[in-house]
Amino acid sequence: MKFCYIDESEGRNHDVVVAAGIVVDGTRMHLTKSEWAALLDTMSARLGSPLREFKASELYRGTGRWKGMDPAQRGRVIGDVVDWIGVRRHAIVYSGVLTGAFEENSRSERLDVPDPWCAADRHLVLALQRQHQTLKAPKGHTVLVMDHSGHQGDLVQFVREPEPWTDGYYGRRSGTPPLNQIVDVPYFVESEHAVLVQTADLCAYVLRRYVEIEDLGDAERYSHERDRVTAWSRTLAARAPLSHLFPARGRTAAHEFFRELAPPSLVALRS
């Protein structure tokens, strides 16, 4: 069984939403938590005081506990977390939605999705189903753990009763229950109580900054930010199932829908 810890990050101008998830095998959970504790010790040493939780926005922007630490030092902390994901070979999954593209698709009434947040989350769930159904049961069965949000009811309803048009995303076979790799409904927690949700938050934040710089023309906030964010994003992409997130061939209407909503930089992102 697998656990996927998910969080989202929205642009300051509400022009993009990026969701990211860290996928951990249940048999490795104790090892993962032990490794994370060691990583927190490293981060605490950089900070100069004990750290047991962190918020990606504060770390990236240098506010809260990170106020006064220069961007280069904070960048090394972010690099520690991103490298930890790569070195420990944790899988990630991510999705991005441009608000403008979502509004265009909403006006065309092609497919019924309430808002960009729900679209990003649904894309993650469908990509996980598509990827994990290739694994021998019960290895692909996945529990979703997410930060509390204002749209959690919609995602619960989606997992319980996904719309028929989503069947094409993962090639649901006749007689097979929909989303049969997703265990129960998503579990919602306070992020300070789930360290891997905090890690997902950082991944979503980094990928969102990548989109803002590459697709939305946002200026660098510090010297060489673009180079750093690009390197971090490519490391994350190396751990993502890109053929299930943005398949290059055999795309259905469901694939095209999420592809049209996505920032081009995320679709093209490779390690």
Q: What percent of the chain lies above the pLDDT cut of 90?
A: 64
Task: For the full predicted model, state whether its pTM sits above 0.85.
Answer: yes
Contact 145, 6 (CB under 8 A): yes
Strand partners, 24: 3
Specify if 121 maps to a domain: yes
Q: Which residues contact 187 (CB under 8 A, 6 or more apart)?
A: 143, 144, 145, 146
Q: In whole angstroms, give the CA distance from residue 120 to residue 263.
A: 11
Beta strands per DSSP E along 128-186: 142-147
Ordered alpha helix ranges (H), 62-98: 71-87
16-25 vs 187-189, strand pairing mode: unpaired
Q: In whole angstroms, give the CA distance from residue 206 to residue 229.
A: 6
Q: In whole angstroms, give the CA distance from residue 54 to residue 78.
A: 11
What's residue 46's pLDDT? 82
- Higher-confidence residue: 95 or 106? 95
Q: What percent of the chain lies above the pLDDT cut of 70?
A: 97
Q: Is 12 exposed, middle or buried (0-12, 13-18, 19+ CB in 10 A)?
A: exposed
Return the SS3 of 128: helix
- What's the domain count of the chain? 1
What's residue 183's pLDDT? 94
What's residue 109's pLDDT? 59
Specify if 227 maps to a domain: yes
Q: In whole angstroms, give the CA distance from residue 261 to residue 242.
A: 16
pLDDT tens column, 194-250: 888 989 999 999 999 999 999 999 999 988 999 999 999 999 999 999 999 999 999
Q: What would the two tokens of residue 242 be?
A: 């890109």
Tokens 């229950």 -> residue = 177
Q: In whole angstroms, give the CA distance from residue 200 to residue 146.
A: 9
Specify if 173 maps to a domain: yes
Q: Which of 12-21, 31-40, 44-53, 101-110 has the highest mean pLDDT?
A: 12-21
Specify if 157 maps to a domain: yes
- Higher-confidence residue: 87 or 83? 83
DSSP secondary structure code for residue 194 in this structure? -
Q: Which of 52-61, 134-143, 164-173, 193-202 has the highest mean pLDDT?
A: 164-173
pLDDT tens column, 109-142: 566 788 999 999 999 999 999 999 998 878 779 9
Specify if 81 maps to a domain: no
Q: In whole angstroms, give the CA distance from residue 224 to residue 110.
A: 40
Q: In what order do the strands lie in the sheet with 187-189?
A: 91-98, 16-25, 2-10, 142-147, 187-189
Please give the residue range of the domain that contains residue 141.
Answer: 2-27+90-268
Specify if 196 maps to a domain: yes
| φ/ψ bin of 14: left (φ > 0), alpha (ψ from -120 to 50), beta (otherwise) | left
Specify if 54 maps to a domain: no
Query: Letter for the amino acid at 222?
Result: Y
Contact 121, 155 (CB under 8 A): yes
Specify if 72 maps to a domain: no
What's residue 161's pLDDT? 94
The yes-or-no verdict on residue 150 having pLDDT over 70 is no
